[in-house]
Every structure is written in structure tokens, then in C-alpha cells.
A and B are shown apart, each in its own frame.
Chain A
């Protein structure tokens, strides 16, 4: 199986650029699914103890276990589970679009 579409991106500006049906043209990695996020979780590096509980709980998963953890805002829906679960209050929320 080829992975040639892995890093392919499709620039869609109008209906003319779209296929007739909802079919993936490139990798699903180009299909960003975070447009409806209303709050943005932000990790405060100084408070983070690298326990990775946020990484374990993120249902997407849109948090990567780096040091400190990183959040992929192309896929984070802003559910706030990481904020709720962080034992050190190291993740805060910020309203989107303000």
C-alpha cells in the first residue's frame, strides 16, 4: 500500500477545487477538524511536572508526550478534559476568537 498521499495537501478556495463527493484527496492529516473549538487549552511550562496525565486523557488524541507536552491545535476540539484532569493546574483555558 502506498503512502504517497501522506504529505499531500489540497488547497481548496472554492467549490470548483472540490471533488463531487466527500472523498479524501490527500492524507486525512490534511483534514483539519478543530474549526469549532471555542476554548483553547494552554500548558504553563513552569507548572508542568511532566506527569503526562493530559496526554493519557486527551480523547482525540491531540496532545503529544514531549517535554513539556505539546497540543496539536489542528485537531484539539477544546473539550477541556486536559484542563480538568491536570493535577497541578498547569493547563489553563483561553477563549477562542477574542
Chain B
């Protein structure tokens, strides 16, 4: 069944299609409609789930952690300041290996108060142990929620996922979303059956005191799970393609095969960049696009494979790591260590500033006429 949905509705319907058992979330613009629609779905009896009303985002994720530890599939959603408030619990969910799915509507952090798109909020959660992916469109939001549960719940993975969608560009923009047939979704995503859970008939302590003898190995196991997750993400993406007709991977390569200049970006900028690439190709410019879907685990092998034939690489970030450069640029530069390909680091669109096709054409134009540089601000009023 196809419907015209905003990104927030796609996220809510995606979680409902995944048959989540517990939803705990606190409203924050621009995520609010996710919470609203989920509470309606539960109140209307359309989903067999508990909707837990909480007093903060910290409590929202804490409630999900408790519920997930009992063996229930859980879902939450937030944005910016809300994600920052969850931070302590974000570590907890990952270290307790609870495959919770969190839809984060990427929003800039205050002050100045901004409700507009910027990925600084999710980048700030980089080292928590969560898988992190970035959506280009509303179909990808819906699809990725279904895949994220299947990937996260794999017994060799057991990791939570942060699914990122840009504020307003996706959250409040309507697009056609294919919602598939629920029976097919149910066979693709069987119920969550964890090996270890809170159960009064088989009591266990979770998250207990862990001495230096064991903490180190638990951290090592999280890293091993991330490495394994790269395979699982690829396998599940292929299975999704066979089942529903849309295949996904860690990255998406668009017209890269013979490209001299390859742009690397993520989120909604990747969608605009595809149009920019098409337009430049018509003018005879050999340009391609590498869209990064997963930031963690970081797909360095795929990135190297796709970028090694490029003559120039330009990365566009919707965030900046103050005192350094764009966060994705750092990763791409590190992945390409040892190659002689010039790398350009661009920052654009902070705080929801629009990144247009013309902006992306100007990036390619800049790369044609200038030496490479780690931090180039697109459209800043200097």
C-alpha cells in the first residue's frame, strides 16, 4: 500500500509495522508528530503496545532500556537537545547490548534556538556504541526502521540504532512511501527473542559492577559486533531488496564508475546531489556521488573501493567539529590514508541553511579551480 507521508509519519508507521511493544518518547520540535501519531496508533488499538508517557528524554530512553531488557521490542524518537539529554542512557543501551531503535530528527543545537536541520546532535553521540545511519528520503526512513530491528537483533550484533532524518526536509515534507504488506513484513522481521532478559523465573543481574578484568573485553566485544554488523547490514539490505524490491547497503554509489570527481555526502544533501550530478553530467562533467548511509559502523572498505579510482574527492558535511573540520570528512580522509587523491572538505547547510543544486555545482566548480583544503565553508557570509 502506498501513502503520501511526511518523514515523521514514515518513522511512526515504520515502528508500528515493526510491531514494537513499548514506545516511550517525549515531544520536541521537529520530532513531535512521531510521538503524536504513535500515541494515536496505540490509543486506537491498532498496535498491541504500551505507550509510556515520560517527563524527559532521559526518562524516555531509560524506559525503553528497561522494557527492552525484559525482551520487548522498543522505539523512541527525539531531536537535538532531547538527544543530548539522553546521552547517559545512550551509552547504557549500547553497553547493555539492547537493540533499541531511535528515530532522531536531526536538528541544530541551541543557542541560538534553532529547530532546523543540522547533524551536530547525532555526531555528538558518535562514540556511544550505537549504529548510526542517515536517511535520504521518507521511503528510506520507513525501510530502515524495519531493517534496523532485524540487523540490531541479530545475535552477533545486538546493538541499538540511531536513524537520522533531516529536520523539515524530511520530517515535515510529504513523499510517496510504499508501506508493503504486513504479512510480508512479519515474515521479514520475526519477533524479538533475546537470549538474556529480565525474567523473574530466571533471575539475572544486568549492568552490574564490572572489574578491570572484564570491562575491557566487553568493550572489545562491542567493537567486534560493529565489525560483524557491516556484513549483517549488507545481508539484510539484500534480503530487503529480494523481499520488497528496494536494496540497501552501507553506502550507495551514484554514477561513480567513470567519475573523475566524486562527491561524498549523506542525508537529504545526497538527494539534491544526485540531481546536481545528473545536471553536471549533461554538461559533460564526469562527476559521481557516494552516499554514506552508515556512519557507525563506518564502511571504510567500501569507501576505499569506490573512491580509489577518483581523481578528486569532495566531502560535504552538515556539521563541523569545532577546532577541526567536518566529521564525515575526517573519516573519509582517514579511510583514504596513503592515497595521493586530493581531498576537499566542505561544510554547508548548518542550522537548516538550504543546500541547493547550485551550491553543489559550486562545490565541483571550486574543486576544478582550487588546491585541496580541509575546511571550505559553502555560502558563509564572511
B184-212 residues at the A interface, CB under 8 angstroms = 195-196, 200-212
A1-58 residues at the B interface, CB under 8 angstroms = 1-2, 5, 12, 14-15, 18-25, 28, 31, 33, 35-36
Judged by a CB distance under 8 angstroms, whether B126 is at the interface is: no
CB atoms of B225 and A20 under 8 A apart: yes
**Within 8 Å CB of B96, what residues of A?**
21-22
Interface of chain B, main secondary structure: loop
CB atoms of B220 and A15 under 8 A apart: yes
Judged by a CB distance under 8 angstroms, whether B221 is at the interface is: yes
Given contacts A1-B200, A22-B95, contact A28 B208 (CB under 8 A): yes
CB atoms of A18 and B214 under 8 A apart: yes
- Closest Cβ–Cβ distance, residue B110 to chain A (whole Å): 34
CB atoms of B211 and A2 under 8 A apart: no
CB atoms of A21 and B196 under 8 A apart: yes
Closest to B94 in A: A21
- A20 CA to B50 CA, complexed, in Å: 27
- A39 CA to B214 CA, complexed, in Å: 23
**Within 8 Å CB of B97, what residues of A?**
20-21
- Closest Cβ–Cβ distance, residue A76 to chain B (whole Å): 15
CB atoms of A20 and B201 under 8 A apart: no
Closest to B210 in A: A22
Closest to B217 in A: A15
Judged by a CB distance under 8 angstroms, whether B218 is at the interface is: yes
CB atoms of B204 and A23 under 8 A apart: yes
**Within 8 Å CB of B210, what residues of A?**
22
CB atoms of B208 and A2 under 8 A apart: no
Interface of chain A, main secondary structure: loop
**Within 8 Å CB of A20, what residues of B?**
97, 158, 196, 221, 225
Contact residue among A19, A23, A24, A35 (Cβ-Cβ distance under 8 Å from B213): A35
Given contacts A18-B221, A19-B196, contact A24 B201 (CB under 8 A): no
CB atoms of A21 and B95 under 8 A apart: yes
B64-123 residues at the A interface, CB under 8 angstroms = 95-98
Contact residue among B98, B200, B202, B214 (Cβ-Cβ distance under 8 Å from A22): B214
Given contacts A20-B225, A28-B208, A33-B209, contact A2 B214 (CB under 8 A): no
- How many pairs of residues, A versus B, come closer than 8 Å at their CB atoms? 61
**Within 8 Å CB of B196, what residues of A?**
19-21, 23
B144-158 residues at the A interface, CB under 8 angstroms = 158
Given contacts A15-B221, A21-B97, contact A2 B206 (CB under 8 A): no
CB atoms of B218 and A21 under 8 A apart: yes
- Closest Cβ–Cβ distance, residue A13 to chain B (whole Å): 11
CB atoms of B202 and A2 under 8 A apart: yes
CB atoms of A2 and B201 under 8 A apart: yes
**Within 8 Å CB of B217, what residues of A?**
14-15, 18
- A18 CA to B220 CA, complexed, in Å: 11
- A20 CA to B197 CA, complexed, in Å: 12
CB atoms of A28 and B205 under 8 A apart: yes
- A24 CA to B199 CA, complexed, in Å: 13
Contact residue among B158, B203, B212 (Cβ-Cβ distance under 8 Å from A1): B203
Q: Mark A56-78, 1 if CB is under 8 A from B, else 0.
A: 00000000000000000000000
Given contacts A1-B200, A1-B201, contact A21 B206 (CB under 8 A): yes
Closest to B220 in A: A15
- Closest Cβ–Cβ distance, residue A95 to chain B (whole Å): 20
- A21 CA to B96 CA, complexed, in Å: 5
A-B contact pairs, 14 of them (CB 8 A): A1-B200, A1-B201, A2-B201, A19-B196, A20-B221, A21-B97, A22-B95, A22-B96, A22-B214, A23-B196, A23-B206, A28-B208, A35-B211, A35-B212
**Which are the 6 A-B pairs with shortest beta-carbon distances?**
A21-B97, A15-B217, A24-B205, A20-B97, A23-B196, A22-B210
**A interface list, Cβ under 8 A from B:** 1-2, 5, 12, 14-15, 18-25, 28, 31, 33, 35-36
New A-B contacts (4) at CB < 8 Å, excluding given A21-B218, A22-B207, A22-B218: A1-B200, A21-B96, A21-B196, A21-B207
